[in-house]
Structure formats: C-alpha cells, structure tokens
Amino acid sequence: MEVSVIMITYNHEKYIKQAVESIVNQVTNFDFELIIADDNSKDDTEQAVKSVSNTSKNLNLRYFRNEENLGMTKNFEYAYSKSNGNFIAICEGDDYWNDKNKLQKQVDFLRDNPSYSFCYTRFKVYKNDNDSFVEDFNGKHFHNDSKFVPFTYQTFSEGWHIGNQTLVFRKENFNAVAFKKFKNFKDVHLISQLLKKGEGACLNFFGAVYRMHDGGIHTSVTEYNGYKIGYLTHKEIYLDNASNQYLRRKYLHSYKNFLNANIRANHLSTALWMSIDLLFKNGKVIDFLKHIKRILVKLFGKK
C-alpha cells in the first residue's frame, strides 16, 4: 500500500460525508486506503460514513469506532497503528480536500525528492458562521511563482501556518514511540520529529479546507488555555532537542506569551515567578522590567 489516509472524527455527522468524498474522489496512479477512527461519537457519524462507503465500492475504507472516548491524541495513535502505507496523509472528519490531484502531487514530490521528510500545501479556512473562506498566512512566503518553499527548524520557529489536514509524510521517518514520549503530543510534535529526518516543504497550491465551527476543538479553547497549551507543547519539544537554537527560541517565545496571559488573567504570583525564571533563561533585563511594571500596574492601578 502506497498511502494511508488517517481521518480521526468525533461528532462530525454534518461534515464527514464531504470529507470522505473528497478523499474518495482523489485521482492517483497508486493504491491508497482510508482509515477512519471514530472516537465514540454521540451523533450519526457512523451512518454518514456508511452512506458513502456503500456507494464507493472501489474505496479501501476501514472504519473503527472506539468503545469509549480516547481523546484526539490517543485516537490518532490508534488509527496510525492500523496504517499500512509507505506515506501517511491526514484529514480530520470536519475538514476536506479541495483538489482531486492533491494526494498525487504530494506523493510525486516526495518520490522525486527523497531527502524531504514531509510536505504540506496551502489551505483555506472556511468559517461556518458567515459562510466565508479565508486564505492561510503563507502566501507572503512565495515569490516568482515558486513551486514550493522549504520548511526547516528555523521556519518552524518563525510560526508558519501549517494545515495538518494537508500533511503527507514518510512513515519510515516517524517513530511512533513519540506518542508515549510526550505528555502533550500534538501536530507540532509530529512535525518536530519528522524534521529530525529531513526538511519539509510547503507546496504552492491550495489542497484542503479547514472548517471553523462551534463544535471544533480549537474553537472551544479559551485564550488563556491556548497560550498554556502552546507553552507546554513547545517546552516538551525544546527539551527533546535542547541543543536546537531554533526550538529554544520558539520555546522562550511561547513562555513569554504565557507569562503575559497570566498577567492579563490576574494570576500575578505565577506571573512574578515566571518573570524571574524567564530572566534567568534569556537574560533580557528590559523584558523583565516590563513584566514587573505590568504586574505592579495590575496590583496597584495606574497612577
């Protein structure tokens, strides 16, 4: 099997038919499978999947339903353990691909460029609430009709807009031990592990759509928790690669963001401790004084 497409889903009854059909309709010169891991959905996601599979006889689809809710990471790990492909592609049940040649283009790139560990594409964000599309933030990186832009640890540290729903990577370049190694495993952990084996690339075409809706995981995360998750995530990645200057830079940036989030949330004792700790980590006295000033203003108000 050349490619395994992994689709994790939970309560995606309204969207998963479009997601599955966008994969069914891929035009390729190789065989691929679709693995759907349903994390014990409470709606009719299962029936929606069956309605597509019953009309697509040529589709190599395997559907698994968890008896209990495992959470995104464990559900992805489970689906990954069922994969047989040389390459792994990802599309969650509420997203979809919008180019019928997406998979072929990406596999061709990886075949033609064996030193590259993964590739992804540009994507659009669909906002359910106002029925609109917004392009990702990566257009500024493409110049003179370039076919792709390399993705390195330096690029990773600069905050690129990676669409996980567009990712295709070499299975041999990812060690599944990483699922157990990290407490807060996320897509950025996956990317950081793949970069150990080779560069990535962002291909210059729109391959998928990320759907933003009220039931989405990221939509429901508060601002404070978002910064906390970012901090914990990048801390783990950095500690796993402590000699990497780019990951250190990313970690310190997320640390600073979380510190400021604590000040805004009036967690001032935590913010004070973090300010002192960050001073020892990065040696930036001016930043330290700015943080202390903000804490004092919060405590005593503006004079």
Task: Examine the domain organization and report whether 174 and 290 are in the same domain.
Answer: no
Residue 107: inside a domain: yes
Residue 217: inside a domain: no
Q: Are the beta carbons of 123 and 201 closer than 8 angstroms?
A: no
Condensed to tens digits (0 to 9), the pLDDT of residues 50-78 reads: 888 766 666 789 999 999 999 999 999 99
Q: Which long-range contacts (CB under 8 A, 24 or more apart) does 287-291 make?
A: 287/256, 291/259, 291/260, 291/263
Q: Which residues of 281-297 are buried (b: 16+ CB within 10 A; e: fewer)?
A: ebeeeebbeebeebbee
Residue 207: inside a domain: yes
Q: Are the beta carbons of 82 and 35 closer than 8 angstroms?
A: yes
Task: Examine the domain organization and report whether 196 and 249 are in the same domain.
Answer: no
Task: Examine the domain organization and report whether 175 and 263 are in the same domain.
Answer: no
Q: Would you state the pLDDT for residue 57? A: 61
Residue 218: inside a domain: no
Of 190, 212, 234, which residue sits at a domain end?
212
Q: Is residue 130 exposed (0-12), middle (13-18) or buried (19+ Cβ within 10 Å)? A: exposed
Task: Examine the domain organization and report whether 82 and 231 are in the same domain.
Answer: no
Of 212, 240, 262, which residue sits at a domain end?
212
Task: Examine the domain organization and report whether 199 and 294 are in the same domain.
Answer: no
Res. 128: pLDDT tops 90 = no
Give 3-state DSSP helix, strand, coil % of the chain, rounded to 5.
45, 20, 35
| pTM of full prediction above 0.95 | no
Task: Examine the domain organization and report whether 98 and 177 are in the same domain.
Answer: yes
Q: Are the beta carbons of 215 and 246 closer than 8 angstroms?
A: no
Task: Examine the domain organization and report whether 203 and 228 are in the same domain.
Answer: no
Residue 72: inside a domain: yes
Task: Examine the domain organization and report whether 243 and 153 are in the same domain.
Answer: no
Task: Examine the domain organization and report whether 257 and 114 are in the same domain.
Answer: no
Q: How many domains does the chain have?
A: 2
Condensed to tens digits (0 to 9), the pLDDT of residues 142-159 reads: 887 889 999 999 988 887
Task: Examine the domain organization and report whether 98 and 199 are in the same domain.
Answer: yes
- Say how far apart CA 22 and CA 208 lie, in whole Å: 9
Task: Examine the domain organization and report whether 139 and 11 are in the same domain.
Answer: yes
Give the residue numbers spanning the domain of 130.
3-212
Task: Examine the domain organization and report whether 154 and 276 are in the same domain.
Answer: no
What's the CATH number where 49 sits?
Answer: 3.90.550.10
The H-or-E segment that residue 202 falls in is strand 200-212
Condensed to tens digits (0 to 9), the pLDDT of residues 2-52 reads: 999 999 999 999 999 999 999 999 999 999 999 999 999 999 999 999 888
Of 182, 212, 242, which residue sits at a domain end?
212
Q: Are the beta carbons of 140 and 222 closer than 8 angstroms?
A: no
User: Among 54-58, 114-118, 245-249, which stretch is predicted with the lowest mean pLDDT?
Assistant: 54-58
